[in-house]
Amino acid sequence: MHLISPGTKADRVASVIKKELRQIMRDKRSLGILFFIPLFMLVMFGYALNFDVKHTSLAVVDLDLSRESRHLISEFSHSEYFTVKQLPAAVKELDHLLGSEKVRAAIVIPRGYADELARGRSPTVQVILDGVNANAANTIQGYLNAFFQNYSYQLTIKVARRLGAAAISQPIDYRPRIWFNSELKSAKFLIPGLIGFILMVVGVISTSLSIVKEKERGTMEQILVSPIKPLELIMGKTMPYIAISLLSTAIILVVGYILFDVHVTGSLLLLFLTTFIFLLGALGMGLLISSISETQQLAFLVAVISTILPSFLLSGFVFSIRNMPEAIQLITYAVPTRYYLVALRGIILKGAGFGAIWDQLLFLTGFAAVMLLVSAIRIKRAGL
């Protein structure tokens, strides 16, 4: 018998990659997790997680029935923010309308509205909001405030002109212009966040399971007695998932463009480079989880808890970090998805270049290095 020369490093890594791909392709469930879930989430989040508040349905109770009150109602109708859905005759009907969510806000124009205006006194117009969705109620209240201020101002000018002040005009000409997401569409804000969320969750869960499965089956032991080195094993295990995740990213971008008109303003190369670095960290984290877990159930649990909640709540994906309490804001610095999202939103929405996001990349690189290093050490020392 003679000894067959042990192959090169690249041969061994290639064997692992080939084996992983075969296993992934054979396991329809993990294929589904890798491709279907991201698309499902994209559509769900894209359509369901909509923060846009437009055409708020209003009920207006006009107790005055004057020319002035009708003018006020028609002004509402002209605004794209409001739609006057109901004109009930009595205030008591509002209970039912708001309770059944037929309208989200109600306006009550009091009897004597026109009279009081004519006498130069300020009539009181009542505004009732449905506060169940606090975020939306806040936004609607803001729109109503602006609307009434503007309307009052128009009335003031009218009166002033009638009194002879012909030259009166608006002191400040306010012209807002919004950059980067000019239509203020939530989808544009959400899709980069969704990519980060999906990559983190899918990347960590799939790698953590892929190694624990081998530990449970005993195949890890078989690999560890072979000449393959821990780093080669890690490379062979992560590379297929990196390729699949990058493909997944591309699919999300294409579908995001088709369904939500989100296009990448910045460099695609920079986008994929950033994603690659982020993925290294996520997969390293998955490896680390599997090196400390004994069973697939435990690994799955740890992976889910350590990715879904932080990436959903603390990364700035859905909730703005700036609005969080200071203590929570500090915690978000430990969430890698946070840095990825800043970079990704920069590239996709603002066309940011390397110079604008290098600090985020630096953190992501550090995160990836630490995760991969620690897991390689653990695999080497504990034999997984």
**Can you give the binding site for other proteins, defined by CB under 8 A?**
1-8, 11-12, 14-16, 18-19, 22-23, 26-27, 217-219, 221-229, 383
Choose between 215 and 345: whose C-beta lies nearer to other proteins: 215
Number of H helices, E strands in the chain: 14, 4
Choose between 236 and 284: whose C-beta lies nearer to other proteins: 236
H-helix or E-strand containing 120? none
Angle between helices 336-345 and 268-292 (to 10 degrees): 170
> What's the token pair of residue 181?
């997401």
Sheet with 82-86: list strands edge to edge.
82-86, 56-62, 105-109, 126-129
Check: CB of residue 346 under 8 Å from CB of residue 357. Answer: yes
By the 10 Å C-beta count (0-12 exposed, 13-18 middle, 19+ buried), 93 is classed as middle
Q: How far is the CB of 199 from other proteins (least distance, A)?
A: 25
Choose between 37 and 224: whose C-beta lies nearer to other proteins: 224
Q: How far is the CB of 40 from other proteins (least distance, A)?
A: 25
Report DSSP state, residue 380.
H
> What's the token pair of residue 224?
């560890």
Q: How far is the CB of 247 from other proteins (least distance, A)?
A: 22
Q: How far is the CB of 284 from other proteins (least distance, A)?
A: 22
Cα-only R_g, the chain: 29
Check: CB of residue 208 under 8 Å from CB of residue 293. Answer: yes
Choose between 11 and 115: whose C-beta lies nearer to other proteins: 11
Choose between 155 and 224: whose C-beta lies nearer to other proteins: 224
Q: What's the half-sphere exposure (Cβ side, CA atoms, 13 Å) at 231? A: 4
Choose between 24 and 105: whose C-beta lies nearer to other proteins: 24
Q: How far is the CB of 20 from other proteins (least distance, A)?
A: 10
C-alpha span between 112 and 155 (Å, rounded): 16
C-alpha span between 292 and 287 (Å, rounded): 9
Choose between 55 and 381: whose C-beta lies nearer to other proteins: 381
Choose between 54 and 381: whose C-beta lies nearer to other proteins: 381
| DSSP codes, 159-197 | HHHHTT-TT---SS-------SSTT--HHHHHHHHHHHH
Choose between 17 and 301: whose C-beta lies nearer to other proteins: 17
Q: How far is the CB of 222 from other proteins (least distance, A)?
A: 4
User: For the chain, what's the residue count?
Assistant: 384
CA dihedral defined by 213, 215, 219, 225, rounded to 10 degrees?
150
CB atoms within 10 A of CB 351: 14
Q: How far is the CB of 13 from other proteins (least distance, A)?
A: 10
Q: How far is the CB of 242 from other proteins (least distance, A)?
A: 20
| Nearest to 223, CA basis, from 214, 212, 210, 213 | 214
Q: How far is the CB of 362 from other proteins (least distance, A)?
A: 35
